[in-house]
Structure 1
C-alpha cells in the first residue's frame, strides 16, 4: 500500500470533513500518499483526483458538508462505469480506497472490492441506519439541530397555544425522531419501527388539553408519513388544528458537534490502519463504545440496527 484514495459519497453529513482530515493526516503520518477524489464515484469515473497534503485539510474539522463534495452517479451503477473507475484508480496508482458515506456508498465500494480494490468504508449519515455500528458520523450533529428547532418551536407553540408537528429526516430509521423527541420533551413520537394508533394520539392530545395543557409537540419521522399527512388525519378524525414544520435539509448542514468530530477522527484513522494491514471489504463502526472494524457484507444483511425501544417506552411514560 503506497497511495490511498478517499472520497465522500451520498448525502452529506456534519463530520465528513473531520473524517477526510483524519484519513489524510493519518495516512501521511504512516508514510502513505493520499489522493482526494472529488464528487464521489462520478468524480472517480471522470478522474477528478488530486494529491492531498497536510495543508489540504487544514481548517476543515469544524466545517459542515464535505470539501471533496458529493454527487450521484448513475454511471457507476453500470459495469462500464465501474470499469472506468477502476482504470482511473490504476492510472493514478491508487492502491486502496476509503469511502465515507451511507448505505448506497458502501454498496458502491463493495462493487470495487469484487473487482479487486481494497476498500474500507466509514459510516457517515444523519440517519444512523448502518448495520454493525451504534453511531454514524453526522447523527449527533443533526440531533442537536433538531433539538434546537424543537426548543424554538415550543416557544411559539406556547405563545399561541397550538399543537405543532415537526417532521424530521431519517429515511426508514427512527433514531433521529426518537432521540430528538425524547430530548426535546415531545408529547408524541412516531417512528417507523413502531406502529401508531391514531386514537391513542388523539386521546393523548385531548387528555393534555383537558388538564389545562396549552400546547403539544409531535415529532414524526419521514419514514412514517409526512407532517402534512399527519395534520390532515388529526383534522379529519378529531378536528384538531395543527401547524407543521418540515425541518428538511437544515438537519444535514452546520458545524459538526464535538462528538461527531471525535468519532470521525477515530473512524478515519482506523480506516487507514486497516488498509495499511492489507485488508479491504471492511466497514468501520462503534460497538459498545469502542471503535471496531467488521466485514462489509454485514452492512447488507437484513437490518440488525435496532432502536433502543426502552427509550421509546420512556418517552411515552414521561409525556403523560
Structure 2
C-alpha cells in the first residue's frame, strides 16, 4: 500500500511516497482504511528531524478512516464504523505514566500517513457523529490537548474567563470548547485579520500582541482587574511572563506549547505569590478522548479547517504550516 516516508536526517524535502505492508491481524486488532490526517507541531518537528526517527519512518500522529475488519475479540467496533486514532495508544485511562506515553504514532512507531493500518482496537475511538474523516482527524492531538487543559486539569466553569493565544488548532479548539461551556474568551494574535476570524468564532475580547507588548496586563484589565481564570499557553518561555500577569489569584495556566521559546526567565515569584497552577499538558488519554467526543456529539462543535492537501502533497502542507499563514487546522485527505 502507498505510504509517505521520511529519509534520514529529515527535512520536508526528504518526504517521499513509498510503500508499506500491513501488520498481521490479531484477535484484539482492527483493520482501518485511512482517509485523512492533520498536521500538528509535533509532526512538523518529526519531519524536520528534531525528533530522531529511523530511516523510512511513516509520519503523522493523527489518522481517521473506516473500519474494514475487526479481530475476533473486538466488541467495541464493527466493519463500517468511522474511527479516529489516539495520540498515546498505550495511555488508556488514569494518570499519565512513562509506559503509557510511549509509542506515539509517527514518532516512536509508524504513523498514519498511509492508506491502511492494522492496530490494536484501543488505538482508536469512534469519530463524532456526522464528522467527515478530515474533521475527525483534527481531534487526536489539537482538540484533545485543549480539552484536557480546560476540563480535565482545570475544570472550566460557566462564566469564567479563558485567554487563548494565536489561531492555531489548539487555540481555536480551546476557544470553541470554552464558548460551548459558557465561558468568556480573550483571544490574542499578531494579525488583525485573524483576530476578526476569532471574533466570528465567539471571542469576546481581542488583543493584537504585536501592538500591545504588555498584553497580559491588558487581559487582566479586561476582567476588571481580577485576572483571567485560565490561560491556554502555547508560546512557552517567550510568552509565559505575560500569561502570568494575566492570571488571577489561584488561576490556571495550561502549558501546552513552546512556540516562542524552549527556555527563558520565568517569574517564579509571581507564580508563587499568585498561587497560580501551571500544568504541563501533553495531549491526553483514550478515556479523555472518548469524553471529549461525547461532548462534541452533544454540542455540535465543528473543527475549523484552513486547507486540505492530497496525501502526496504533504510537503506543501508542511510548508504552509511553516509559514504560519493558516487559521485553524491543515489536513491531508486521500
> TM-score under structure 1 normalisation?
0.38
* Higher helix content, 1 or 2: 1
Tell me: higher relative CO, structure 1 or 2? Use CA pairs within 8 A at least 6 residues apart.
1
Which is higher, the Rg of structure 1 or of structure 2?
1
Instruction: Answer 1 or 2: which has greater strand percent.
Output: 2
